[in-house]
Amino acid sequence: MAGQKEILGIWIGENESASFWLGVCNDLKNRGVEDILIACKDGLSGFSEAISTAFPKTEIQLCIIHQIRNSLKYVSYKQQKELLADLKKVYQALIIEEAELAFTAFKDKWGKKHPVIIKSWENSWLELTAYFKYPYEMRRLIYTTNVIEGYHRQLRKVTKTKTTYPTDESLIKIIYLATAEASKKWTMPIRDSPSGAPVALQRCRILLAGKSQI
């Protein structure tokens, strides 16, 4: 609630899976995390169920950027710009009703050409639109996993020079040191907004979860 960003833990697994993330969520719960307001996630199968099992009250937001990337895989390069412009009317709408109307228009225009894309958005609609419950100014913090991916990029700068590690513990130590260095920028004093209200009051606690290929 103070508007500060913090890494709650470092986990290493041979493969990313729903059971792996369930273990992460249970670990957080055992360490004292009682509830999570919003969990922003990528499209890993079973991820939502893992979060809901440990934190049943948590709202889940599927990363819009991941959804767009997956949608564009089915579109020819010549059509991508036009389709993306129509999709922007959906996820950049001011209210959920406007987004629903924009999606109906999108479906009417592209449904026959790309039924797989339409089905993908329809099947995940509730998780794709969770951020509409919150003020427009907060949505960039909610509808994408960019924050955690930016952190992962900082880790890769440190780990890319060495492709193998003798033990998981040695990798964790390197990641921990990189995290300590990166987090120095996150703990700077919170500035006041132009309106005079603390920026912290304009923010919301979020858990950002996404995979990192180190």
CA 180 to chain centre: 22
Tell whether the model's pLDDT for residue 154 goes beyond 70: yes
Q: What is the mean pLDDT of residues 77-86?
A: 94
Q: What is the mean pLDDT of residues 111-138?
A: 94
pLDDT confidence band for 186 (50 / 70 / 90): confident
pLDDT confidence band for 177 (50 / 70 / 90): very high
Q: What is the pLDDT of residue 190?
A: 53
Q: What is the mean pLDDT of residues 184-197?
A: 59
Structure confidence by residue, pLDDT tens digits, 93-112: 999 999 999 999 999 999 99
Q: What is the pLDDT of residue 188?
A: 61
- Looking at the chain, the whole-number percentage of residues with pLDDT higher than 70 is 86
Q: Report the first-to-last Cα separation within the chain, whole angstroms.
A: 30
Phi and psi of 60, rounded to 5°? Answer: -115, 130
3-state secondary structure of 78: helix
Tell whether the model's pLDDT for residue 208 goes beyond 50: no
- Spell out the domain ranges in the chain: 18-63+145-208, 65-124
Q: What is the pLDDT of residue 140?
A: 83
Residue 61 near residue 41 (C-beta atoms within 8 A): yes
CB-count burial class (<10 Å; 0-12, 13-18, 19+) for 98: middle
pLDDT confidence band for 80 (50 / 70 / 90): very high
Q: What residues contact residue 85 under an 8 Å CB cut-off, 6+ apart?
A: none
Q: What is the pLDDT of residue 6?
A: 86
pTM for the whole thing? 0.79
Q: What is the pLDDT of residue 1?
A: 64
Count Cβ atoms below 10 Å from residue 79 Cβ, excluding itself: 14
- Tokens standing for 190? 């919170």
- Host H or E run for residue 62: strand 59-62
d(CA 168, CA 85) in angstroms, rounded, equals: 44
